[in-house]
Structure 1
Amino acid sequence: MLGYIHLVLKDLVICHQGQALWDKIALEHNLDDDFCSHAKSFKDEDTFLVIGVVARELNLSLADALEAYGEHFIVFVMNNGWDTILNCVADDVFNFLNTVTYLHTFMDTLTFKGSLEKPSFYCEINRDNSLKLHYYSHRNGLDTLVIGLVRKAVKELFNIDVLVTLNEHYADNTGFGKGLNHSIFRIETVERDKRLFLPSKMPNKFQISSDVEEYINVADFAKMCPTHICFNKNMIIEHCGLFLIEQLNIGSMPTKLSDIIEILSPRNTPLSFQGISGQLNSLFTVQLRKTIKRNKTVTDPSIANSKVVLKGKMMMISGGDYMLFLNSIEISTVKELTEKNIYLNDMALYDVKRDVVLLQQSRTCQQLLNSRLETTVQNLKKMTAELDSHRSKSSELLYDAIPPQIASVLKQGHKVEPCEYDNVSCLVCDIPYFAMITTQIGATEIMKLMNKLFKKYEKFIIKYECIKVVSFMDLFIITCGVPEPKINHASNICDLGMCLLWEVQKIKVPHINLPLLIRIGISTGHVVAGLIGTSHIRFSVIGETINVARTIATYSKPGKILISNTTKQSLSHTESDYNLENNGFIKTQTKKAVYTHFLISNEKKSLWQLVGRTDVDRTSNGYDLINDHAIASDWQEMETVIQRQENVIGTLRSSKNRKGFRVAAEKIRAIRLHLHNKLNNESLDSGISQNSESNQSSVCNIC
């Protein structure tokens, strides 16, 4: 059964005893959320087991529980959107009950593609104006459920109280209908003035003009209904439509119905007069057993083996002695017409399937057009996204060297004039041993090294609200206080400088294998800032303050920050307190003397707070790491070693006798021994390799 049945059962329990009882049942019997999933199928045994549990919990017999369930089912579906359609089914009880089977079939076809074993209802009128309801089902034991279902439906839809009693019940255990249960109910009104059906307004006889033939002959009917079949109680075909006559070669000889068709639905319906009579309110779908005549000469096997399917209604005629199957070919698309080699002309002119096929084709064409349009829209969206991405990248490249505030003004089409700023701090840094590094590593490695360095710079430039003005090889010029004035420009630029000293130590120079060192000069004062260039615009800052900062940087020591006295004065106006070390006067390019100080630390913030690290030992403020002279000493010693190597190589290149070569070899041996003692046996001799046994170079071994 479907999970929808369980959903109604759950609602029944909650309405009578509350959510707690259902939660208890679900917990004890391991019923998860899928158990009430309306479109999911479950075994009948599982459903009946839970119904039995609910009956015990509600102190009801199984029969009473099923009857209560039937009544609650009507209440549930009407409260969940089905009330309008149910009220539009029929205007009396008789016709409503005869339409219920069609509703089952429609829902099965729409949602489950005809896979359900659905029940069937057929209603007749008794002589005493009561109704005889035939109920056919593959499931046994649901008679009391039908009683509750019918009684509640009639009350809710027609406001009639009825008595529903079970008169007969038997099962067909033979033939195709084996296991099909047939129950017969009597339905009568409680109030005598209520009617279960409306009187028929059809006259007993039509008044036909004398000049019109009274009956339609078989030939005309065969043309009007090209796929109809009329058969008797012996299941012999009396007459059929023109399409079947031509395509199946049905002639004057008696033909059994079972020779030409098989029933697809209702499922398990026996191909007998009695079996079909029990499903008169159901839509029948049958398949021709034989291949139609026109397909026998087709070479395509998929068409040659295809079978025509007919769908329609079975009707008893001539007092129940004959059965008429009025139908149409089950085709809904042009593709199906092609696959089965069927033509629209094979269908009756009034057959709505013609309109369905054309409508479906129109819908298919519209869907194809919509699909192409959707693809075009998606491509346009993709192109727009790519265009936006390229525009964004172009904008980033165009305005990369411009502060965001000024770039925003330019994008709006406004002109930006140069401005003077009185309080701006400028930082200039370079790599003191850059020339030596370029002689020891290749161009590609230099580019990788500088790329790492620039990434370190940019992260902290953003953090401390500074602006990168120039970056050229190993030279960086950074300002704070332009284009937007900042009160803490001096402290921001000093904190930035200490962050840079720490971060660059993480970068190892290839081959030399020492941490990178920079030196920094900082000055504060008046500058002029503006845009330079037309096709490639740059933000430029000029003035004496920049020149002083560059000069100070050249006087700074490797791994140190040297600041001017004007910067010191600006720092005194901030909340931070800095530890400075006097350095004395230096001469600038304008031959003026500037008093300078080495920046040691920020007394109110640790180095870890400046760089934003929380995973370090807080017992140390970290400034000892950037004020360590050991790294600078290693670089000085390395500079000496490399200079000696270059001298030796120069001697080797210039020597023209054996004696000069031996002198050079002795110098190399001395250099290697010195490096071995100082640098822990690591070869830094620009390519002269160590010998694993004697730790002497191959050049020395030659001697």
Structure 2
Amino acid sequence: MFGFIHESIHQMMVRRYGEEFWLNVLTRSGFESGKENIVNHYYPDSDTYALVDSVGALAKIPREQVWEMYGAFLIEYTMEIGWDELLRAMSPNLKGFLDNLDSLHYFIDHVVYKANLRGPSFRCEEGPEGSIVLHYFTSRPGLYPIVKGVVREVAKRVFDLDINMTITGRTQRSVQMSSGERVEEHVIFNIKAVAPPQAGAKSSIIPPPVSPTDLDTGTLRITQQDFCSAFPYHIIVDRDCKVVQVGKDLCNHINRELLEPGTPLLRIFEINRPQIPLDFENICNFINAVFVLQVRNAPMDVKKNHRGSDASEIFDDSNLASGQHLKLKGQMMVLDDKEHLIYLCSPYVTSIPELLQFGMRISAMPLHDSTRDLILLNQQRLSDVEVNLQLEANNEQLEQLARDLESEKSKTDELLKEMLPQTVASQLINGTSVDACEFEEATVMFTDVPSFQFIVPHCKPKDVVHLLNHLFTKFDRLVTLHNVYKVETVGDSYMTVGGVPENNEQHCENICHVALGMIWEARTVIDPVSGEPLIVRAGIHSGPIVAGVVGAKMPRYCLFGDTVNTASRMESHSPTGRIHCSESAVASANRTGRFEFVCRGHVPIKGKGDMLTYFLVRSFKKSVWEIIDQKRDENVNSIDGYAELAENLEFDLEKKTGPVSKTCTIS
């Protein structure tokens, strides 16, 4: 069905139940929000039925009630969006309004939207006691409740009438068309006013009877030749739908032999609209519809059958239609004898290119024929429609670009938050300045791979990169687990800080846990040269820090102060596999945590002189398995994991620094 129907259903549901209800309808029916109500788009009937079924299921009302409710709202909505005057100007009474519904549908389908929809057809008869018998024909069975809603709302809003509608008959039949077999439903309604109109009422259900004095009993005759000239495209057929008379200009497009009296209409034309069999009874049932008939033979065949000078005048090469089949559009009328039908029609052309396709000019249209105006006006309309379609396409493209841009912006924001602390990144994203801050105490740690200088000369570049990526990925996970900030990596050096940029009393405790985890995780990475587990070292120091964002193109969150320099010295003076801590770091760690530190004694530190330093051995709060957030293998590992962490380190320590003092242990 046409997208306008979806949009009006959308409006009805939002007004009655709210936007959230409509979103639930879309989810249930499988539609993406914003794609269900494109006005100029043609949707399969199954999509429309899915929407209505979802509405009924969520609102807990029968499908028929949803359709009837929609029929009433359709009139309300169309009058709101600018069709109010047109609906009020259609007829002074309800019967005339219903009789002209077919032509209104045709105008909407073929002139306004060019949608070529399979619309319904209506035919009215006067019933007993001032009632109307309405015949409704449709190729979409089950939609008759819409008619009840539409007619009641029109009667109320346009004609100020309150009516009763009852169904007196409903049948279905199979109709064989050129495109295949289809089911046609015929529903008969009886329409009656609840109260008869009072004297002087502005509207009624049926037109008043014609007074005998209004009828002219005189006879005014017109010759057949004059009639054929006045209506150059008309056709009169008998009850068997055989040609009786045709207009004079039809021979310009149809073989003269086919226009002889007695030729079956089906031999000359095939019916495009309405989609019914082309016989007398069906034409009478759809008498209010706009009929579109298409010539079966091509104009090229016509030229072959027109020999002589006259043919050359009519069919010159510049006007010849290139194999096009002429279409006629018009109205069927039953003549007084009830045995003949007249088809008053015009060539179905709505634009100048179509006119030229059939080798015609505007002068071929009678002056009284509104097709002349339609061609000119529609030329402008087509330009407007083309512009609107292009705008819709551009809008959709812009929406997609906006979504892509938003997606890329989200990626950029996430990347910025990875490069900078989240609070700092959020300030930059929001366009606010980030001022440098001084922190009274924070803990800085440097970690590196002592054997890295021996690995690089003996490995391919990609192997070096793979090694560092593998190692630093494991370190990144620990940093995230223990709520510390990764400052940067330079070569094999990995720098982290605790207590910056958010103050945290446990800054040193967290850094110590990260250091223990790094020593363990590094051993799961294999040295590509020796084939042994990789051994790293770490240095930790606590003290005042100044931090701020440096740079505009590639901003970095940098740390400044002697604390950074001292932490770097702790790392460079640390034995392999050890966590070397300053005295201030030990004091800070023990304020919130419980650790075992081994005193290394006074060590000469470059640029600092002799410093009392310590080695971090274990945490009494957390096991190694809790620090690295992994399950312990009960059959292999110790309970806390520190025995495995200390393997082969005692000998290495004594070898490089001398015997460790057992009396200087801090816990």
The answer to whether the superposition gives a TM-score over 0.5 is yes
Cα deviation, residue 340, structure 1: 5.2
Contact 2:109 2:117 in 1 (8 A): yes
Cα deviation, residue 523, structure 1: 2.1
Find the partner of 2:639 among 613, 620, 623: 620
Please state if 1:285 is matched with 2:287. Answer: no
1:34-65 Cα distance to aligned partner (Å, 9 max, x none): 9xx99459xxxxxxxxxxxxxxxxxxxxxxxx
What SS class does the counterpart of residue 427 from structure 1 fall into? strand
Find the partner of 2:370 among 316, 333, 350: 350
Find the partner of 2:515 among 497, 519, 526: 497
C-alpha change, 1:381 and 1:203, in structure 2 (3 Å) is same
C-alpha change, 1:382 and 1:585, in structure 2 (3 Å) is same
CA distance in 1, matches of 2:185, 2:443: 97
CA distance in 2, matches of 1:223, 1:456: 94
Contact 2:498 2:510 in 1 (8 A): yes
C-alpha change, 1:344 and 1:578, in structure 2 (3 Å) is farther
Aligned to 2:233: 227
What SS class does the counterpart of residue 591 from structure 2 fall into? coil
CA distance in 2, matches of 1:314, 1:549: 99
Mind listing any 5+ residue stretches in structure 1 that lack a counterpart?
Answer: 1-32, 42-68, 209-213, 637-703
Find the partner of 1:203 among 184, 195, 214: 214
Moved more, 237-246 or 376-385: 376-385
What SS class does the counterpart of residue 520 from structure 2 fall into? helix
Within 5 A, what are the aligned runs for 1:426-505?
426-468=444-486, 471-482=489-500, 485-505=503-523
The structure with the largest alpha-carbon Rg is 1
Please state if 1:598 is matched with 2:605. Answer: no
Contact 2:351 2:376 in 1 (8 A): no
1:368-388 Cα distance to aligned partner (Å, 9 max, x none): 542674487469748966995
CA distance in 1, matches of 2:354, 2:605: 93
Contact 2:166 2:189 in 1 (8 A): no
Find the partner of 1:324 among 342, 345, 362: 342
Cα deviation, residue 294, structure 1: 9.2
1:222-272 Cα distance to aligned partner (Å, 9 max, x none): 455442223456866555334313333649964635353344555554545
CA distance in 2, matches of 1:138, 1:547: 87
The number of residue pairs the alignment matches comes to 546
Aligned to 1:510: 528
TM-score (norm 2): 0.62
CA distance in 1, matches of 2:577, 2:341: 107
One-letter code aligned to 1:260? I
One-letter code aligned to 1:563? C
Cα deviation, residue 500, structure 1: 1.4
Within 5 A, what are the aligned runs for 1:521-560?
521-527=539-545, 541=559, 543-560=561-578
One-letter code aligned to 2:216? K
Contact 1:163 1:190 in 2 (8 A): no
Contact 2:334 2:341 in 1 (8 A): yes
CA distance in 2, matches of 1:386, 1:160: 56
C-alpha change, 1:407 and 1:243, in structure 2 (3 Å) is same
C-alpha change, 1:578 and 1:206, in structure 2 (3 Å) is farther
One-letter code aligned to 2:639? S
One-letter code aligned to 1:205? D
Contact 2:536 2:576 in 1 (8 A): yes
1:331-375 Cα distance to aligned partner (Å, 9 max, x none): 445665566555555444422642564254223431354267448
C-alpha change, 1:154 and 1:513, in structure 2 (3 Å) is closer
TM-score (norm 1): 0.59
Cα deviation, residue 313, structure 1: 1.6
Moved more, 405-414 or 180-189: 180-189
C-alpha change, 1:310 and 1:552, in structure 2 (3 Å) is same
Contact 1:227 1:328 in 2 (8 A): yes
One-letter code aligned to 2:370? Y
CA distance in 1, matches of 2:138, 2:411: 67
Aligned to 1:589: 606
One-letter code aligned to 1:480? G
Within 5 A, what are the aligned runs for 1:86-101?
95=96, 98=99
Identity across the alignment (%): 20
What SS class does the counterpart of residue 572 from structure 1 fall into? helix
C-alpha change, 1:631 and 1:600, in structure 2 (3 Å) is closer
> RMSD between aligned alpha carbons?
6.0
Contact 1:608 1:616 in 2 (8 A): no
One-letter code aligned to 2:296? R
Contact 2:165 2:189 in 1 (8 A): no
CA distance in 2, matches of 1:409, 1:180: 66
CA distance in 2, matches of 1:294, 1:234: 26
What SS class does the counterpart of residue 468 from structure 2 fall into? helix
Contact 1:161 1:191 in 2 (8 A): no
C-alpha change, 1:333 and 1:611, in structure 2 (3 Å) is farther
One-letter code aligned to 1:358? Q
One-letter code aligned to 1:198? P
Within 5 A, what are the aligned runs for 1:28-47?
39=45
1:126-158 Cα distance to aligned partner (Å, 9 max, x none): 9xx88896979899xx9xx9xx99x99999996
Aligned to 1:653: none
Aligned to 1:683: none
What SS class does the counterpart of residue 584 from structure 2 fall into? helix
Cα deviation, residue 390, structure 1: 10
Aligned to 1:312: 330
Cα deviation, residue 567, structure 1: 1.4
One-letter code aligned to 2:210? S
Find the partner of 2:249 among 239, 243, 246: 243
Mind listing any 5+ residue stretches in structure 2 that lack a counterpart?
Answer: 1-28, 31-42, 48-62, 199-204, 304-314, 656-667
One-letter code aligned to 2:515? G
Contact 2:352 2:375 in 1 (8 A): no
Aligned to 1:256: 263
Aligned to 1:425: 443
C-alpha change, 1:196 and 1:436, in structure 2 (3 Å) is closer
CA distance in 2, matches of 1:187, 1:477: 86
C-alpha change, 1:239 and 1:565, in structure 2 (3 Å) is same
C-alpha change, 1:452 and 1:346, in structure 2 (3 Å) is farther
One-letter code aligned to 2:384? R
One-letter code aligned to 1:370? L
Aligned to 2:387: 366
C-alpha change, 1:344 and 1:438, in structure 2 (3 Å) is same
One-letter code aligned to 1:622? G
